[in-house]
Amino acid sequence: MKISFSKIAAPARGVVVVTVAEAAAGKESKAAKNKPASGPVLGRSAAAIDMHTKGALRRAIKAAEFSGKREKTLQLLVPGEGQFTRVVLVGVGDPTSLDAFAAERLGAVIYDTVAREPSATVMLEGIDTAKAGAGELAAHVAGGARLKSYRFDKYRTKEDKDAKPKLKSIVIQCQKPAEAAKAHDAVTALVDGSFLTRDLVNEPANILYPESFANRAKSLTKDGITVEVLAEPALRRLGMGALLGVGQGSARPSRVLVMRWNGARDKSKAPVVLVGKGVCFDTGGISLKPPPGMWDMKWDMGGAGVVTGVMQTLARRKARVNVVGLCGLVENMPDANAQRPGDVVTSMSGQTIEVQNTDAEGRLVLADVLWYAQQRFKPRVIVDLATLTGAIIAALSEHYAGLFANNDDLANKLTAAGTAVGERLWRFPMGDEYDRELKSLIADMKNIGGPRAGSITAAQFLQRFVNKDTPWAHLDIAGVVWNEKGTPLAAPGSTGYGVRLLNRFIADHYES
């Protein structure tokens, strides 16, 4: 879908979308004189359209009791041979509270409204008192439209033509089109990274497995990212017994993917390190999962997918920061060679782990990769992402990801970034009372706690592999990486959750 920007002018033909402020917010608007008796504030373009349609727009507003509330729409068919065939009003609500995330959601609403048109013109009005500039908001409206346009249909051979979107181009008219086009470059990088994550997470496990995942990541070298893949012989030499134990039952050999972006002016500056769980398929191993819903476990590599998408985004927008992305890539299968409940493995840190449940495998993978990250890269901060526990879904459903951290400042920064982009985090407690539940009779620890607080004991397990002086946060994203119904910015399937959050987090606090 092609997106371009231009100055506000009457479109020649087709469908036109006009944004309008909410009635209650119109008192302070320059266009207040165009406010109908009851309804939204009509800007110059909407007022001109109303005149062109001989008052049909105002009559439709009154009949529908359309107020201009944010994300609400009103459509009007224009008969005859006029300049356009259909007019869509989209409410922006109170423009003083309009920010980048709200603009993205507006873009998604606009896309849904015009997706079956070949082209559309969007006239951004009623936002003169918004928090952000007109150009920046226009760029984020475009980004939201693109995010909502994503489809993963590469394996479809037949599809109802009426069900497939037809939209090929959108022209967004705004007060500062040159500023919008410039801001759109960074937004495009962010959308592209989100799409890469969605592509990876949507892929079936017979197509995306540790080796093929790593091979796809090699394409990031064209963006300036250094990519290194550690195969099993190297992992054995490093002593990654926890990670290798998870993958030993699979015919697909395990890998660790290392991606490096050195964008800071000081190339020697300690990096931000992102670590992703990449269990490309999780049967549970010998502790086999129940069959219903097991197909979902193709997205148990969601954390690795997010890390890969973030790395592409940072490189494409030339972020002034050094970042390392690490992904532990394995399959957890119930082969005759699979590890058994009760096995003891030795992690790269030298700590031993009694594997009481082979379906608590993601933490074993992360344990070795977290340790490797610290030993090799001496990070200024580590954030890991993992579809780690079903318990987090029970606690937060699909609305928040779980946040665990050893550093209050880091936790606050991540929470703020998530709120700003609509990828919300909820912090959970940690402490010795939970850590004691990991005590093993025969090893340094076991890989599960008791029957309760499973997300917290999983985080306590990971913390045992993080140095006390290293700021670290763990994001349990099991409930948010996949959504059967879709979200305001994503179609059903992979959501891409985490890319926009981490991009914002890094942009706000670590770029120089």
Write out the catalytic residue numbers. 289, 363
Quote the CA–CA distance of 20 and 120 in Å, as a whole number: 17
Q: Taking the mean position of all CA atoms in its chain, how far away is CA 9?
A: 35
Cβ proximity of 249 and 337 under 8 Å: yes
CB atoms within 10 A of CB 433: 11
Q: Which residues fall within 8 angstroms of residue 471, CB to CB, at 6 or more apart? A: 380, 381, 382, 405, 406, 407, 409, 410
DSSP label of 488: T
Quote the CA–CA distance of 192 and 302 in Å, as a whole number: 16
Cβ proximity of 227 and 195 under 8 Å: no
CB atoms within 10 A of CB 80: 6
H or E element that contains 137: helix 134-149
Q: Distances from the Cα of 157 to the Cαs of 199, 203, 204, 205, 501, in angstroms?
A: 18, 16, 16, 20, 35
User: Comparing C-alpha atoms, which of 89, 91, 105 is closest to residue 142?
Assistant: 105
Q: Which residues fall within 8 angstroms of residue 215, CB to CB, at 6 or more apart? A: none
Cβ proximity of 139 and 180 under 8 Å: yes
Cβ proximity of 477 and 401 under 8 Å: yes
Quote the CA–CA distance of 328 and 275 in Å, as a whole number: 8
CB atoms within 10 A of CB 409: 11
Cβ proximity of 40 and 21 under 8 Å: yes
Helix boundaries (H) for 218-325: 232-238, 241-247, 302-316
DSSP label of 465: T
Q: Nearest 5°: phi and psi at 59?
A: -65, -40
